């Protein structure tokens, strides 16, 4: 199963997962950080994420590390790993059903998004080319 997503949506999901993981923060700060991240996550991803948490699959959003799901530590089939590494999307682990992502792909997409935003940013007022 695959859920299409953009790099920004994946980063928001990562922030949400990090907020859920950092239970040592004060309740209010953690709640505010979690709510801010959750607002940026599309409904289809947020629903799937919440379903996994309710089923006891924490962490629910995990990276692939050396061909292994870092949630259940099972080796992924080559085809699944290849699909995850080729597309900026959320894929499911066939063993534990956690949401998988390729960290290097998210990082690369973030760099591209940052470069696009810098090129599209208007020149500051008062400066002429």
Q: What is the pLDDT of residues 39-91, one digit of tens each?
A: 888 899 999 999 999 999 889 999 999 999 999 999 999 999 999 888 888 89
Cα torsion angle, 118, 119, 122, 123, sign: positive
Q: What is the mean pLDDT of residues 6-20?
A: 84
Domain 2-120 has CATH 1.10.1040.10: no
DSSP label of 59? S
DSSP label of 82? H
Sorted by where each begins, the domain ranges of the chain are 2-120
pTM, rounded to two decimals = 0.74
Q: How confident is the model at residue 121 (pLDDT cuts 50, 70, 90)?
A: low
b/e per residue 46-74 (b: at least 16 CB within 10 A):
bebbeebeeeebebbbbbbeeebbebbee
Q: d(Cα 6, Cα 87) in Å, to the nearest integer?
A: 10
């Amino acid at each position: 199963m695959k859920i299409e997503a953009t790099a920004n949506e994946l980063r928001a999901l990562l922030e949400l997962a990090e907020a859920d993981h950092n239970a040592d923060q004060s309740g209010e700060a953690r709640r505010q950080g979690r709510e801010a991240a959750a607002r940026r996550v599309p409904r289809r991803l947020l629903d799937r994420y919440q379903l996994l948490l309710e089923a006891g699959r924490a962490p629910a959003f995990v990276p692939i590390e050396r061909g292994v799901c870092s949630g259940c530590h099972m080796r992924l089939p080559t085809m699944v790993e290849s699909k995850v590494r080729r597309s900026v999307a959320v894929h499911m682990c066939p063993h534990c059903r956690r949401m998988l992502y390729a960290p290097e792909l998210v990082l690369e997409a973030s760099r591209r998004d940052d470069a696009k935003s810098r090129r599209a940013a208007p020149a500051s007022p008062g400066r002429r080319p």
